[in-house]
Amino acid sequence: MKNINYKLFLPLLSVFILFSCSDVLDETPDNRTQIDSLDKVSELLVAAYPEAIYASFLVPMSDNARDRTVAGSRPTILNNEMWYWRDLDDTASDTPTNYWYRAYKAIAQANQALESLDELGLIDVQQRGEALICRAYGYYMLVNIFAKAYNETTSITDLGITYITKPETTFLPSYSRNTVKEVYTLIEADIVEGLKYIGNDETVSKFRFNTQSANAFASRFYLTVGKWDKVIEHSAVALGTNEDLTTKLRDMALHTATLSLPEQLLQYSSIFEPANLLIGVGRSTYARTNRYSRFGLDNSLRVELLRTSPLGSRWAYSVFRNRISNFTPKFGEYFRVTNQVAGIGIPFVQLPLLTTDEVVLNRAEAYAMKGELQLCVDDLNAVLSNKVRPNPQPVNLTITSVPLTYEVNDATLYTPFYTIPAPSLPFVNAALIVRRTVFYSEGLRWFDIKRHNMAVVHDELSSDGQEVISSSFTLTKDDNRKAIQIPSAAQALGIEPNIR
């Protein structure tokens, strides 16, 4: 019996020791990934760009959307509510709330990448630069959409957005908002730090930041805070040197003349387009709604923005028109099928986030502000040269023609936090007018409106299809509604709402 006793207890003991050990519980429960190499960090960063479209809600808020009347269009709630500058508490794609979640999601990916780099002990790597720039970009977009415009005096107290730099680790933490000033300071710090590391990694696609696109973003950032030398400095890096500038800009004249509609749609956001520095993809129906939503490109706006160019000839942008559609072919749709029988799936829209055209126009405005008017005019001409049709023969802008054509009669039209010197004003105005057309339906106009503290007037037409103004709505210069309302779920968890 003793024998049996002994034999039995040995396996028993070993089993006890073997399994009471906690190591077995370290087993990964499923096919999740571990971030254990620089490559993996890089893959985290692929998703550090907001997967959302902002044009869908910024365009109807701006002066780039007019009433196409109910009869000729199909109303969508988003387009409607944004046009009337009402708070929309909807989480569907294309909404401000969706952008909020997606931008913070992108920031979380960047924050995780930074944390993983620290854990891996990797300091001087391109990925650190990309992560910092991604984070800066996310916060820049958020603060511009959900807070008041940057203003050196009031931003010290204006409510900005919550700025976090570490991955969240608890279930539902409560957050408070930083001031606008603080947010901008932190963004600038990220940009400065990020640019130190970012390089031109050939393997990085145009969907991610490289030296060029990071500097393009810096150019945009410094334009917003009014640091003109910095705008010029970063623009120069973004554009590169030694080459004819126009070859790097979007050649609309060529595209319109040679490409079919589907090809134009593809080309606009393509990686093959030299003008595109950074391309984004978002879950969106904007490719459709932009065509037929009630508030958008009507005939009067088409004539105003897309007919005669500053160079005298017609703009090269083609406008597709029928009874309910009226659009410039900029957005194609990728439809990811999830249910073939019902014919439903997830629509995506790809659009350029940063372009050489924007960089050149940023720089033009900065030159104007610095009084370097010839350089400003050169930049404007560069952009316009391939955006207009070749006949009648375009006539380039000159230092003398601009003040005549772009004189600003209403002294209160542009009221940024800085003063625009009187001689610069027509040039700034020209740059803004060119931007309005070149970036039509891309949403950038809204940021110009905020930057220059402009008022927006929306005229509602009578519903019978007659173009009669039935009522007029104004978004004043310091209107609180310029800061889109914080999503209700965030408010419910303690984030202070914007003043209404």
Q: For residue 446, which of 485, 405, 475 has the smallest C-alpha distance?
A: 475
State the CB neighbour count (10 A cutoff) for residue 80: 15
Tokens for 275?
């003008």
Residue found by looking up tokens 């990934």 in the block:
33
**Partners of 457 in beta bridges:** 474
* Comparison of 173 and 390: residue with beta carbon closer to another protein: 173
38 near another protein, judged by CB under 8 A: no
Footprint of another protein on 206-225 (CB under 8 A):
207
For the bound state, the minimum distance from the C-beta of residue 93 to another protein, rounded and expressed in Å, comes to 11
* Comparison of 132 and 425: residue with beta carbon closer to another protein: 132
Separation between Cα atoms, residue 441 and residue 184, nearest integer Å = 26
79 near another protein, judged by CB under 8 A: no
395 near another protein, judged by CB under 8 A: no
Out of 281, 420, 428, 461, point to the residue binding another protein (CB under 8 A). 281
324 near another protein, judged by CB under 8 A: no
Q: Report the 3 state secondary structure along 210-224.
A: CHHHHHHHHHHHHHH
Residue found by looking up tokens 């003109």 in the block:
228
44 near another protein, judged by CB under 8 A: yes
* Comparison of 277 and 281: residue with beta carbon closer to another protein: 281
Footprint of another protein on 5-24 (CB under 8 A):
5, 8, 11-12, 15-16, 19-20, 22, 24
208-246: b or e for each residue (b if 16 or more CB lie within 10 Å)? bbbbbbbbbbbbbbbbbbbbbebbbbbbebbbeeeeebb
For the bound state, the minimum distance from the C-beta of residue 1 to another protein, rounded and expressed in Å, comes to 6
For the bound state, the minimum distance from the C-beta of residue 131 to another protein, rounded and expressed in Å, comes to 13
Q: For residue 479, which of 149, 64, 141, 97 has the smallest C-alpha distance?
A: 149
* Comparison of 62 and 73: residue with beta carbon closer to another protein: 73
71 near another protein, judged by CB under 8 A: no
Footprint of another protein on 188-207 (CB under 8 A):
205, 207
For the bound state, the minimum distance from the C-beta of residue 339 to another protein, rounded and expressed in Å, comes to 4
Out of 156, 257, 262, 405, point to the residue binding another protein (CB under 8 A). 262
Tokens for 274?
């030299």
Q: Could you give the string, one character per residue 332-371, with x where binding to another protein holds by CB under 8 A and - elsewhere?
A: x-xxxxxxxxxxxxx-x-x---------------------
* Comparison of 12 and 457: residue with beta carbon closer to another protein: 12
Strands across the sheet with 276-283, in order? 276-283, 344-355, 333-339
The helix/strand/coil state of 299 is: helix
Give CA 8 to chain center in angstroms: 70
The answer to whether 335 and 455 are in contact (CB under 8 A) is no
Footprint of another protein on 81-120 (CB under 8 A):
89-92, 100-101, 104-109, 111-112
175 near another protein, judged by CB under 8 A: yes
Return the range that interacts with another protein (CB under 8 A); candidates 118-126, 210-218, 262-270, 476-484: 262-270
* Comparison of 334 and 473: residue with beta carbon closer to another protein: 334
Footprint of another protein on 449-468 (CB under 8 A):
none
34 near another protein, judged by CB under 8 A: yes
- Count interface residues toward another protein (CB under 8 A): 86
For the bound state, the minimum distance from the C-beta of residue 5 to another protein, rounded and expressed in Å, comes to 7
Cβ-Cβ contacts under 8 Å for 367 (sequence gap 6 or more): 228, 232, 373, 375, 376, 379, 427
The answer to whether 271 and 353 are in contact (CB under 8 A) is no
Q: For residue 117, which of 109, 106, 108, 125 has the smallest C-alpha distance?
A: 125
Footprint of another protein on 111-170 (CB under 8 A):
111-112, 162, 164, 167-170
